Amino acid sequence: MSWASEGGWIVDGEGQSFLFSLDHSTKHKYKPNSGNTIYNGSSCGPNFGGGNDLLLLYNNNPNDCLTKPGSYELPNDTHLAGSSNFQVSDFEVWKIQ
């Protein structure tokens, strides 16, 4: 799957997508048949999961980046970033083959 800015959702039909928490060294798999996997949009950075499991916006205000469990197996809304709303200094998106 690739991320671009033309808009629209991408669904992981093979169920291979996951989010990884560096703080907790935990891998959180995509829930099969849970809908949207990645949103490609020009108004935001990567948006993972239909419930905004991990949403990164451009202007980096504290309330503009958030994590909320939905399409990925996350235990709660503070697990990935320490709170449900957060700021980022840098992020990377990886594709593992």
Q: Write down the pLDDT at residue 58.
A: 66
Alpha-carbon gap, residue 85 to 97, rounded angstroms? 31
The least confident of 1-5, 6-10, 79-83 is 1-5
Mean pLDDT of 40-44: 76
Q: Write down the pLDDT at residue 2.
A: 61
Mean pLDDT of 8-37: 83
b/e map 48-74, b = 16+ CB within 10 Å: bbbbbbbbbbeeeeeebbbbbbbbbeb
What's the Rg (C-alpha) of the chain?
12
Q: Write down the pLDDT at residue 84.
A: 84
Q: What is the pTM of this model?
A: 0.77
Confidence of residue 5 (pLDDT cuts 50, 70, 90): low
Average pLDDT of every residue of the chain: 79
Alpha-carbon gap, residue 56 to 46, rounded angstroms? 6
